[in-house]
Amino acid sequence: MKTTNGHSQPDMTIEETLMIANKISKALSIIDKEPVTVNMDTLESASFDLDWNGSEFDGGSYIITNSGNIRNMAMRGDIYGHIDMDIEEICKTIKMIFR
């Protein structure tokens, strides 16, 4: 098990992490109306970065915690969703953060 900034992270495959990262990137693309993509060069088990509108890493750095929360480490560690949420639920969660 690895730890990032005091948060324990699960052992996940790259494929599992990518599925979750894609949900966050799609939700942010819907909210921002800009293309948000997963940075494949930095994709790791339970950790990923997003590129926003072609700008590398501008979409944030994320970890997945043992509890299944998806945290944006670039934004005070805000929880952007949970691994079991669908894209619509993730959109609602992110919008609540920026009210």
Residues 6+ apart with CB under 8 A from 27: 80, 81, 87, 90, 91, 94
Mean pLDDT in the chain? Answer: 93
pLDDT tens digits, 82-97? 999 999 999 999 999 9
pTM: 0.91
pLDDT at 10: 81
- The residues spanned by each domain of the chain are 2-87
What would the mean pLDDT of 38-63 be, rounded to a whole number?
96
State how far the Cα of 67 lies from the Cα of 38, in Å rounded to an integer: 22
